[in-house]
Amino acid sequence: MYARLLSLSILLCSVWMFVGCEKVDQRRARRLANQAVDSIKSQQYSNAKSLLKKAVRLYAYDPNTYYLLGRTHQASEEYPEAVQAYLKCISLDSANKSAQFYLAKIYIKNKEPLKAIPHYEKAFELNAKDSNYAYELALAYQKARRFPKAAETMQKAIQLNGKFTAAYNGLASIHLDQAAEHEPPPPEPKPEEDDKKKKKKKGEKEPPRTILVPVAEAAKPFYQKAETALLSAIQNQASDEQTYNLLALLYIKQHQFEQAVRTTQKITSTKPNDAGALYHMGLAYDLWFEKVRVQALTEKDEAQKKTFEREATEKREKALDIFKDFIQRKIGTETMKMDVRMKIRSLTELKEKELAKQIEKERKRKRRRRRRR
């Protein structure tokens, strides 16, 4: 009997000592984690990682330590390590919305939206009144091309915050993506060599070349929804330059070039260096020129034809001036700059061809006059 009591006492003492030591280690680990927070705030990430790894060795069951370790790795752009730390945190505490949120952000950065979505969904579920969580989730749906779900979730973000400018813009962007699914691809330019091989009949006019394609009927409802979202942002005083740039792009896609120009002018009147506004204004004039040029080429009435030709020349010069101004201001992304240079080259070549035709016509007139004499 005595031996049994002695054994039981020794066992209880052992458990007590173990629990006591574990509590001590847990407190020490938390102190190290708190010290790491100060290091993270001062951007001393190496020191923070060292402290957090010591904390993990002392006590490996604290989700907050793994969360902090994930944030530190993420700040250091050590994304695989950050993912592992966040996953460990979530395995210990699935209700850690911050770990869910930042893990999803890494998956988005790595272009893995399908992996990001469940974590964004969990984060939003845990904080269903936060419009930012709804917004980020909607963007993930959009990147995964789950457009109806993206639009529905972006609407929730707007319902939670009626002044959420990025959400209005995001909703319009989703609808523009939906419209793009129904639009035919632009025609590929035919090689000049193939055109030269084709023999034209005497008196046959050169067929008009155009980069414009008719707006698909199936795309129109989505353009309407995008316009509604952007006009709602303006009406609710939740608009910015991006709102107007998206509205201009929307008008361009629907071949409403005059409205597109007016919209971009609202931006350039206060921000003349806005790259998006200048780019969209130039693009609107470029496509407007193309539209009128085709009208001139196909018009049979000579008086109306000359009117279209003058208008086309005016639009082309406007496009060239705006694109050249864009380059001189040294604004925009490299992709924008490359596209603008290509458009300047294309418009200049068309201008030179038209000038050459005019010179040739003038020569023919002079020859006819000489013959008459």
Q: Are the CB atoms for 255 and 287 separated by under 8 Å?
A: yes
Question: CA–CA separation, 207 vs 205, rounded Å?
Answer: 6
Per-residue pLDDT tens over the stretch 59-104: 989 999 999 999 999 999 999 999 999 999 999 999 999 999 999 9
Q: How far apart are the first and last CA of the chain?
A: 144
- Per-residue confidence at 20, pLDDT binned at 50, 70, 90? very low
When pLDDT is cut at 50, 70 and 90, the band that residue 371 belongs to is confident
C-alpha distances (whole Å) from 289 to each of 295, 316, 325 are 10, 5, 18
Tokens matching residue 311? 């208008």
Nearest one of 319, 305, 328 to 350, comparing CA atoms: 319
Res 250: pLDDT: 97
Is 151 within 8 Å of 131 (Cβ atoms)? no
Region 30-93: CATH code: 1.25.40.10
- Picking from 212, 233, 106, the residue whose alpha carbon sits closest to that of residue 158 is 233
State the pTM of this model. Answer: 0.83
**Which pLDDT score, from 0 to 100, does residue 202 have?**
47
**Distance between CA atoms of 220 and 183, rounded to whole angstroms?**
10
